[in-house]
Amino acid sequence: MRLILRFLMVVGLCATALAVVPGGPRAFAASSPATFGPNDPRIEFEGRWAKDDDLAITVNSGSSLRFRFTGGTLAAQFKTTGITVPSQVYVSVDRGEPSLVKVDSDRIVLAEGLDPATTHTAEIVVKDVDEYENRWIMPLQSGIVLSKIELAPGATLVSLPRTAQHRLEFYGDSVTEGVMALCPTLGVDCADGTKDYAYLVGRAFDADTDQVGFGKQGVIQPGHGNVGTASESFGWYLSGYPAAPSDPDAVVVNFGANDAPYPAEQFVPRYRAYLRQVRAANPDALILAMRPFDGTHASDIAGVVGALHDRHTVYVDTTGWLGEGDLGGGSHPNVQGHRKAADRLIAVMERLTGWRAARPGDDADPRPAPDGVQRATCTDGPLRLTFAGPAELGVRGRLQVHRADGTVVDTVDLADPATYQRTVGGARSDFGETHRWAYQPVVVEGRTATVHPHAKLRPGQVYYVTVDPGFFVGNGGIASRTAWTFRTRHDPKPGTARLTVDGRGGADFCTVQGAVDFVAEGNDRPVRIDVAPGFYREMVYVPQTKPHITIRGAGAGRTTVGYPNNNLLNGDYAMANVPVEQAYCPRRVLADPDRFNCWRAAMGVDADDFAMSDLTVRNLTPYHGSQAEAFRGNGDRIVLARVRILGYQDSLRLQGKAFVTGGYVEGDVDFVWGTGGVFMRDSELKALHAGYYNQVRNTDTGPGNVFVNVRLTRGPDVPDDSVYLGRIELSRFPTSQVVFIDSAMGAHVKRTGWQITSPNDCAAAGQLRFWEYHSTDLAGKPLDTSSRLACSRQLTGDEATRLRDPAYVLGWNPKHALQALRER
């Protein structure tokens, strides 16, 4: 491997040396590299990143991104037009020594010559952002504007998620962004946010950390670079980009030094107002108000905190934390000073929160589960290792499951791209070939690593697990055949009609998919799967060969099935390099549009006579993370009762004949869609952003979507007149049908109601069926529908009466299925 170094900094106490690659930035020789935008959920961002369409923007040092990828080359695309003082980033590939790269070109190759047959890791951390040039108003003169990650042709990103133990936010001035940490000179070369006390504290607690420091800023004093005061910049990534709520566990405030010219009578009310602003935004967070390291306004800050009478707002006295040798310039700590300050603050936070910072030896002797043969465990459950401190996956290494005789039955190899695929539910393509899904074999959440094997184990067997050194960073591995052993329970008797699922053990299965897999192919009688309370992180797929299955949770607020599946992992985009014989969707309703988009749901059902009640299905793909159904149902006589469907784009997709009652669906773009027919009653549809409730692609021979007594609500940031009831492309689906009867709609619903395109001409909409009857506002007052799309219409009373009957709409009466769902 050879890293391409644009700028290599060798730091003594205050000296820098620069080495430039001959010929300048390199470009890919190949004409079509694989590119991935910053909204791709496989890229994990930490810190302050504003997302704007296909851009990720940060003006704060310490912000970072990390990802795992295949292929032999890594590059990044940036927007550098207007940048006068380029920021610098540290780039580490496969946990190698970080290299310093100056972001002064729109395309920069970060690494090449990597082994194309294995997976790799990359971490990019912002070292500095100039504090004097404009860093607040677009177009920026300093900061990072990332547009794409580039890989070799045919390469891809690999999803291995890691969830931090805690969430921290730091707000301060140039001290909090690491100015003069490396040497006593102002400017980007001597600044380093990764040596800063805030960055070090965040890493010690395995926290997802926002490190927000702006030079010259105070509660009265505006910052450099067009940044306002602390109150003016709070809640914003930069001008025009409001920060998303992050619900931090703790907020650390370090202001006051730049307010030295102002007397107490001016400083105190402004500092008090700022703390109240922070509290209003974070009602449950611990707030630590630090004495500035130089002691400015120390007594004023202590007095404000005491007068608040808020036991979760604490004054942190930093007196004596730093000595003369700990300062790099003025009151700015050097590397040694930041380390000392971090250690002191870590001790304070451990005492106040009960958290435990990482310590040497935390990676040794993790606690495995399941462990021991005395109590049998599920055949389908995950394997877990819990460490004393934060767990972190390595770059290479294998975890292997062995039968008692030593036979290897499963291998998770971090370097092998095939490790990140598995079969689910016996899924087969339209050609009858086995379909393999991209999935997450290892999920790290704080101190616990959860390993999801590629397949169920055999019942009634003894197994042991070995782990290579380095599979987890700093861990020496598990080599002994006796260190991690367990025994699997026996399966229920074949033909059992009632199965149980509990992720904690003690049931027939630990996963919903495990219970579905147990149902016989060609099943011809009802099978009920009862799912205990808990969160089940898994993809679920019910093939068309397993009809008559009912899944029932313990309540929509108690049982949740969720997974971050989406178009980038298992949809049209992901299938581009998969043979069509393995990728073509089975049971396609629309032959061309439905070729590959059936694999991207958190839960997918291709079976008839499927029912589900009293649980939540959630697609964990983040906002803007691509098309991602939470539930996809493609069969006749599907019933959903008291089910919550959570997602963003395309949350609920139903094809065939489906009845929904007592449900809740949330999303933003086409979040109820499919080919119909669907009858939904007594439910709520909640728009999370401006967008569209429906896109229904039914043909002229079948019904679309009919909603009766449904409430159309919105999230807190959705403006009035911003969400369409439905939209359709007339040239492709001219007979689309969406009907709202006796439904209540908030003011966010567009006054025009509906949108048509291709063409936007009602003269071409003769077969369109966008209909309403007795629409009201949320208080029950009749709506003024006079501004509705001209080719939509209001139904007559007789028409509405007929369409209120699900048997009339669907050609099937769901009452027997509903009765079965009510049985205990």
Give the H or E element holding residue 347.
Answer: helix 335-353
Q: Flag whether pLDDT at 589 surpasses 70.
A: yes
Same domain, 746 and 809: yes
Mean pLDDT calculated for residue range 386-407: 95
Question: What stretches of 31-138 adopt beta strand conformation (E)?
Answer: 34-36, 44-46, 50-52, 55-58, 64-70, 74-78, 88-93, 99-102, 107-112, 119-128
21 and 115 fall within a common domain: yes
Average of pLDDT values for 76-97? 97
**Does residue 87 share a domain with residue 186?**
no
**Residue 280 CB partners (closer than 8 Å, separation 6+):** none
Domain co-membership, 472 together with 521: no
Give me the chain's average pLDDT, please: 93
Statement: residue 2 has pLDDT above 90: no
The predicted pLDDT at position 364 comes to 81
Residue 659 falls inside a structural domain: no
Q: Is 572 helix (H, G, I), strand (E, B) or coil?
A: coil
**96 and 216 both lie in a single domain:** no
772, part of any domain: yes
DSSP letters for 686-707: EESSSEEEEEE---TTS--EEE
- For the domain that residue 329 is a member of, what is the CATH number? 3.40.50.1110
Taking only the tens place, the pLDDT of each residue in 673-717 is 999 899 999 999 999 999 999 999 998 888 999 999 999 999 998
What values do phi and psi take at 533, rounded to 5?
-55, 150
Q: Which two tokens stand for residue 194?
A: 């990764």
User: In this structure, is residue 384 part of a structural domain?
Assistant: no
CATH code for the domain of 23: 2.60.120.260
SS3 798: helix
For residue 370, say if its preceding peptide bond is cis, omega within 30 degrees of 0. Answer: yes
Indicate whether 705 belongs to any domain.
yes
Same domain (yes/no): 394, 314: no
Q: How many whole angstroms separate alpha carbon 89 and alpha carbon 7? A: 10
What whole-number percentage of the chain has pLDDT above 90? 88
Q: Which two tokens stand for residue 325?
A: 């040798």
Q: Please check whether residues 497 and 486 belong to one and the same domain.
A: no
Is 388 a residue whose pLDDT tops 60?
A: yes
Across the range 584-603, mean pLDDT stands at: 90
Same domain, 70 and 131: yes
Which DSSP string do the residues of 308-322 spell out, in sequence order?
HT-TTEEEE--TTS-
Within-domain flag for 656:
no
Angle, CA 772 vertex, CA 768 and CA 774 arms, to 5° = 170
Q: Give the pLDDT of residue 31.
A: 64
470 and 524 co-located in one domain: no
Helix or strand (DSSP H, E) at 343: helix 335-353
In the prediction, which pLDDT does 393 show? 93
Q: Give the end of a domain, one of 162, 180, 212.
A: 162
CA pair distance 794, 773, nearest whole angstrom:
6
- Taking only the tens place, the pLDDT of each residue in 157-202 is 998 788 898 999 999 999 999 999 999 999 999 999 999 999 999 9
Domain tally, the chain: 5
- Whether 237 maps to a domain, the answer reads yes
Contact call for residues 20 and 101 (beta carbons, < 8 A): no
Give ∠ CA 707-710-715 in degrees, rounded to 5: 125
Whether 64 and 49 map to the same domain: the answer is yes
CATH no. for residue 558? 2.160.20.10
pLDDT digits (tens, 9 = 90+) for 495-546: 999 999 999 999 999 999 999 999 999 999 999 999 999 999 999 999 999 9
Q: Do residues 402 and 536 share a domain? A: no
Over residues 124-152, the pLDDT tens digits come to 999 999 999 999 999 999 999 999 999 99
Evaluate whether residue 158 is within a structural domain.
yes
Domain that holds residue 325: 164-353
Do both 286 and 397 map to the same domain?
A: no
Residue 645 falls inside a structural domain: no
The radius of gyration computed from the CA coordinates of the chain, to the nearest angstrom, equals 29
**What residues contact residue 314 under an 8 Å CB cut-off, 6+ apart?**
286, 287, 288, 289, 305, 352
Task: List the one residue out of 168, 33, 195, 27 whose CA is nearest residue 100.
Answer: 195
CA nearest to 225, candidates 111, 135, 296? 135
Whole-prediction pTM = 0.91
